[in-house]
Amino acid sequence: MNESIAKHFLADSLASFRAYKKLAEKAIDQLREEEFFVTLDAEANSVAVVMKHIAGNMISRWTDFLTADGEKPYRNRDMEFVIEPEMSKSEVLAYWEAGWQCLFHALEPLGPEDFNRKVLIRGEAHTVVQAINRQLTHYAYHIGQIVLLAKHYRSSEWNSLSIPRNKSAQFNAYLEQAPRSADREQQFERVVEFAKDNKSRK
């Protein structure tokens, strides 16, 4: 892969992962303690379960990312969807953080030369780009679930993490007054700041 394209892709991927992590955590911060473990029905997952699954996936996929299959023999995926009775919110949060640290530890040192390598996930060969995109879309899917659940529990008390309803024109005007950035993490921060300012004026 072209060196400049590889560097740009990696920087954009890291910024996107960080933005999604912030999105999830700003939603989680709005939950009450009891809501963290609640399931809406027998087939639904709680916020805690979704977080545990994401972290378990991360630890498996990103440990020895370039040299070992992303589906580790020690991974017990089924148990990622079970919250043991003694498991606390702080333990889930610590596991979540360990997953993200594993991801960043694997991705941040990558160089352009690494993008010519192939990695395995369940025995299937992926380019580094394919492997990163596979996980980015997977985590975005589950983080959307976390946000939806948190928004459901907070209802009218919800602090928006996206452009508030019927405020698109105002947001575009707001962007005209702010420095432009292609960085996903900075873009997310601007949306959150706009939503917060908008709510405070009500």
Per-residue pLDDT at 182 exceeds 70: no
Confidence of residue 33 (pLDDT cuts 50, 70, 90): confident
Could you tell me if 153 and 181 lie in one domain?
A: no
pLDDT tens-digit readout, 91-149: 999 999 999 999 999 999 999 999 999 999 999 999 999 999 999 999 999 999 999 99
Domain that holds residue 37: 3-158
Could you tell me if 26 and 100 lie in one domain?
A: yes
Confidence of residue 179 (pLDDT cuts 50, 70, 90): low
Could you tell me if 71 and 127 lie in one domain?
A: yes
Per-residue pLDDT at 200 exceeds 70: no
More confident residue, 94 or 85: 94
CB atoms within 10 A of CB 31: 19
Q: Which of 19-33, 88-102, 160-174, 181-195 has the lowest mean pLDDT?
A: 181-195
What is the rounded average pLDDT of the residues 30-36? 92
CB-CB contact of 86 with 113 (8 Å) = no
Q: Around 105, how many Cα atoms within 13 Å sit in the side-chain half-sphere?
A: 13
What's residue 201's pLDDT? 63
Confidence of residue 23 (pLDDT cuts 50, 70, 90): very high
Per-residue pLDDT at 178 exceeds 90: no
CB-CB contact of 191 with 147 (8 Å) = no
Tokens of 196: 């917060």
Query: Which one, of 50, 61, 202, 71, lies nearest residue 136 by Cα?
Result: 61
Could you tell me if 8 and 76 lie in one domain?
A: yes
Tell me the pLDDT of the chain averaged across its residues.
92
Kindly report the CATH number assigned to the domain that includes residue 150: 1.20.120.450
More confident residue, 1 or 143: 143
Q: What is the pTM for the complete model shown?
A: 0.88
- State phi, psi for 63 to the nearest 5 degrees: -70, 125
Per-residue pLDDT at 181 exceeds 80: no
Could you tell me if 106 and 195 lie in one domain?
A: no
Q: Above pLDDT 90, what percent of the chain?
A: 74
Give the total number of structural domains in the chain.
2
Could you tell me if 131 and 194 lie in one domain?
A: no
Could you tell me if 73 and 136 lie in one domain?
A: yes
Could you tell me if 152 and 168 lie in one domain?
A: no
Could you tell me if 53 and 101 lie in one domain?
A: yes
Could you tell me if 14 and 111 lie in one domain?
A: yes
What is the rounded average pLDDT of the residues 34-56? 96
Per-residue pLDDT at 202 exceeds 90: no
DSSP letter for each residue of 153-168? HHGGG---SSPPTT-H
The span from the CA of 100 to the CA of 109, in Å, is 15
Which amino acid, one-letter code, is at 156? Answer: S
Ranges assigned E (strand) in the chain: 118-121, 124-127
